[in-house]
Structure 1
Amino acid sequence: MQSVKPRLVPCPKCGTLAPFSPENPYRPFCSERCRTDDLASWAEERYRIEGNDPPEIQPPPLD
């Protein structure tokens, strides 16, 4: 039986080719450092989607 080479994918953080297989515990990242740095970017809200802010809702007047 012939072993299958894992597919190599670019790390989303640094671009280094990394194996996308169960043997790589950090997939799709190349290392724990890239995975942790990406998580920190999400936590610090560095990834944002531009959009419109919803209009402020005014409370009804008290009569």
Structure 2
Amino acid sequence: MAIEVEKWIKPQDDPSLSIRVRIPKSTANPAWPIAIREKFEAHHPIGSAPRTCYALGFWLGNRRGDIA
């Protein structure tokens, strides 16, 4: 980004700039379906530890270790 768009770094015969990496889609941790989220939210009241952890992870997108 800094090289291509902003021109912050001036490349000087850097062969690594020609490499394009394709990141595969992950199926290891799929998102919860809406029905499951609604069931979880109905079961755990606002202010409980599970609901707080859920909200932090869902709305902030932090890693599980950061939330813990």
* Common fold: TM-score over 0.5: no
Q: Highest relative contact order (Cα 8 Å, sep 6+), 1 or 2?
A: 1
* Between structures 1 and 2, the one with greater strand share: 1
Tell me the TM-score normalized by structure 2. 0.28
